[in-house]
Structure 1
Amino acid sequence: MKKTFLILNITFFGTLLGNSQTILNANGAGNTYEDINAVLAPGYNAVEVPDCIHTDFGRHIDEVFDTELNTNVFQFISHKTPDNDRCQNFDRQRVEIKTYNSSPNNLKATEGETVEYKWKFKLPSDFQVSSSFTHIHQIKAVGGPYESIPMITLTLRKANPDRIELRYTATNNQSTIQTADLDLLRGNWVEVTEIISFGNEGSYSINIDRVSNGDSILSYTNETMDTWQDGATFARPKWGVYRSLNNSEDLKDEIVRFANFSIEEIGPLSISEIKTRAEEIVLSPNPSKHIVTFKNAKADDYDAITLYTSEGKTISTENRLKKYKLDVSDLNSGLYYIAFIKSKRTVKVLKCLVD
């Protein structure tokens, strides 16, 4: 029954947000690896874990119910010892999921494509990092001379203060291009939206926002960025916890929660083209207790809208939507999202706070 539920969930969201979108959601305890593989690499293995060295513990990724999101989420579990990198490398540890050669083609980015990656994650409030790397997300090339080094990395690092780093390279010389205080993430669910137009004359955008109130934690956009490592066959995402043991005295056992993974091909568009579609629409008032107006909206900006909670659950707009106004008076206080749909594609998503 679990796999049936998961596939129906993917189909539903794919219909809602576009034919090329793939969703991976947790759906309750048990069969976690099988459920991940069924989405990211059907018939193959998209899970990289240290189970081989730590068999008495069992699986290092499981699913639990999260009371803050009010839904099931994934837990990525790393032990300071004896975990390592799949019994292959012993100076590091890896608990990750990925797409790769055996994944469906729509989960592998090729030159000229634009892809949106979205997910949520939560670090423990006492999460510890070292001065060595702790990667939680990577975009990597497959093929070519630079495939050993990620093109894009979100890594956590000990500093003053501790920080999250956005790191980048188009070759083999990675550098930090944006940072944020790690205390802004510790103990909080955050949502990441990353848009990449892949190419030597590509573009890149990432936003990390707090789920509870929509506050921005890290934001970066580059409209003229080399986002293709020469010689690559395709590029792919990885998520999880991949950390060095070089300064293991700074580390401890950790559990990082992830939820609502999404990979969507949105066509050969630049970030500026994506952002200018329905760009002028704003919500007023926001926050609101009663009626939200779509200020500056035009008839050809969108064909439909979808209202959904911060957990991704849709709310019917029947009897609450009248032209450019949305009635939110019966909704519980909290954060909601309004997605504007044009030609079966999401062109803009706005955060709506209900008092």
Structure 2
Amino acid sequence: MRKYVLFLTVFILVRQVACSQTVLSADGSANTYSLINAVLANPNRNVVEAPDCNHTSFGNHITQDFDVDLNKNVFLFHIHVEPDNDRCKKDDRQRNEIKTYSDSPENLKATIEETVIYKWKFKISDTFKPSSSFTHIHQIKAVGGLYASIPMISLTLRKSSPDRLELRYTATNNQNTLKTANLDLFRGNWVEVTEIIKFGNVGSYSIEISNLLNKELLFTYKNSSLDTWQDGAEFARPKWGIYRSLNNLQDLQDEIVRFADFSIEEVTNSLSLEKLKAKAENILLAPNPSSKEVTFLNANSNNYDAIDVYDYSGIKIIINKKINNKKLDVSSFSKGLYFIVFKKDTITTKVLKCYVK
């Protein structure tokens, strides 16, 4: 019911203005490592930690492939029970990860009092087998300070009854689990993650994970007063991939974790509610209802950078190439009620009802 209340109400939100955003998306190129390094690192720096040298016969452990579900190229992170190890060293664990470093661009390194939005998509197989010790697929980790060896935030997949996804956290060196979810919600499905962190001794943290196909919200957690800064840290950085324990080999199998569209976006300041309201309230639809085309009257393109359309049940409608010169082509829509959502920097600024006849 909460979904419908949101869509049936025209509302204004205070939004935050992003100062910079970096996106890493697969492009089908032959040299995947070069693509990753070009985005996440400075020249001549390698941000890929893969077991290639211990398993040379396989080749690169991060590849690309065209995904029919997303209709685009995606990254494939490969891990093998044997002979893959941790950064080509024989160890009780193995990893295939990407991350940022001290000499990565400044906007990819979080510092105290900054707010950062991390987004990405991932898919595990429908037969995925996690370790009973740990199988990390995402971490936020400090560089520098007493607690740099332990991640502050982890998304971990763990063998249990039932197998589960865990959100784990520490501001020091004692991790605890904030929330869990049944891993079957994620197996075989593309999901999208949005993680927002205000870094500070009194910071905030939120995460949402949704099924990309049906938009179902699978996992959510929010804490508006959380210590999100490890003392002595120089900066905090994200890590993505697969990093798992080898303590119980009988529990494991060779895996491929698919990732797409990594995004790191720094947020700096806020606009007032009054300013945003004055900008958004001028937007009108005409004609409404319509059977052919709807025009966005008084719509200044500086006030929005994205438009989404949903039907009455909350299903997102694909509108690629249907918007031209502030007009929406509704000729192929079924008769009924729709909701046009105007966004600025991913934050909803206004929702308008659209009737198709």
Q: TM-score, normalized by length of structure 1?
A: 0.79
The residue number in structure 2 matching 1:340 is 343
Give the counterpart letter for 2:231 in structure 1: D
The residue number in structure 1 matching 2:324 is 318
CA distance in 1, matches of 2:55, 2:350: 44
Give the counterpart letter for 1:108 in structure 2: K
CA drift at 1:318: 2.1
Is the CA contact 2:293–2:331 (under 8 Å) kept in the aligned structure 1? no
**Structure 2 matches for 1:59-208, cutoff 5 A?**
59-208=60-209
**Structure 2 matches for 1:185-264, cutoff 5 A?**
185-264=186-265
- Distance change (3 Å), C-alpha of 1:135 and 1:208: same
The residue number in structure 1 matching 2:10 is none
For the pair shown, the structure with the greater C-alpha radius of gyration is: 2
Is the CA contact 2:28–2:65 (under 8 Å) kept in the aligned structure 1? yes
Higher relative contact order (CA 8 A, sep 6+): 2
Give the counterpart letter for 2:151 in structure 1: P
CA distance in 1, matches of 2:148, 2:160: 28
Give the counterpart letter for 2:36 in structure 1: I
Is the CA contact 1:96–1:238 (under 8 Å) kept in the aligned structure 2? yes
CA distance in 1, matches of 2:223, 2:292: 36
CA distance in 2, matches of 1:220, 1:349: 23
The residue number in structure 2 matching 1:53 is 54
Q: Percent identity?
A: 58
Give the counterpart letter for 1:28 in structure 2: G
The residue number in structure 1 matching 2:287 is none
- Distance change (3 Å), C-alpha of 1:315 and 1:35: same
1:87-112 superposed Cα distances (whole Å, 9 cap, x missing partner): 23511110000011121000000001
Q: Between 219-228 and 259-268, report the one with greater CA deviation.
A: 259-268
CA drift at 1:306: 1.5
SS of 2:53 mapped into structure 1: coil
Alignment RMSD? 3.7
The residue number in structure 1 matching 2:303 is 303
CA drift at 1:47: 0.3
CA distance in 2, matches of 1:137, 1:18: 23
CA distance in 2, matches of 1:350, 1:182: 35
- Distance change (3 Å), C-alpha of 1:292 and 1:318: closer
Is the CA contact 2:131–2:158 (under 8 Å) kept in the aligned structure 1? yes
CA distance in 1, matches of 2:340, 2:55: 41
Is the CA contact 1:203–1:224 (under 8 Å) kept in the aligned structure 2? yes
- Distance change (3 Å), C-alpha of 1:330 and 1:349: farther
CA drift at 1:124: 0.6
Give the counterpart letter for 1:40 in structure 2: L
CA distance in 1, matches of 2:168, 2:105: 27
Give the counterpart letter for 1:203 in structure 2: S
Give the counterpart letter for 1:26 in structure 2: A
The residue number in structure 1 matching 2:354 is none
SS of 1:20 mapped into structure 2: strand
Give the counterpart letter for 2:154 in structure 1: T
CA drift at 1:330: 3.8
SS of 1:249 mapped into structure 2: helix
- Distance change (3 Å), C-alpha of 1:138 and 1:350: farther
CA drift at 1:299: 8.6
Q: Between 18-27 and 50-59, report the one with greater CA deviation.
A: 18-27
SS of 1:266 mapped into structure 2: strand
Is the CA contact 1:33–1:61 (under 8 Å) kept in the aligned structure 2? yes
Q: Unmatched 5+ residue regions in structure 2?
A: 1-16, 282-289, 310-315, 352-357
Is the CA contact 1:306–1:317 (under 8 Å) kept in the aligned structure 2? no
Number of residues paired by the alignment?
313
CA distance in 1, matches of 2:103, 2:177: 31
CA distance in 1, matches of 2:93, 2:324: 52
Moved over 3 A (4+): 289-293, 307-310, 312-316, 326-332, 336-339
Give the counterpart letter for 1:32 in structure 2: T
The residue number in structure 2 matching 1:266 is 267
CA distance in 1, matches of 2:235, 2:102: 9
The residue number in structure 2 matching 1:39 is 39
Q: TM-score, normalized by length of structure 2?
A: 0.78
Is the CA contact 2:19–2:267 (under 8 Å) kept in the aligned structure 1? no
- Distance change (3 Å), C-alpha of 1:142 and 1:291: farther
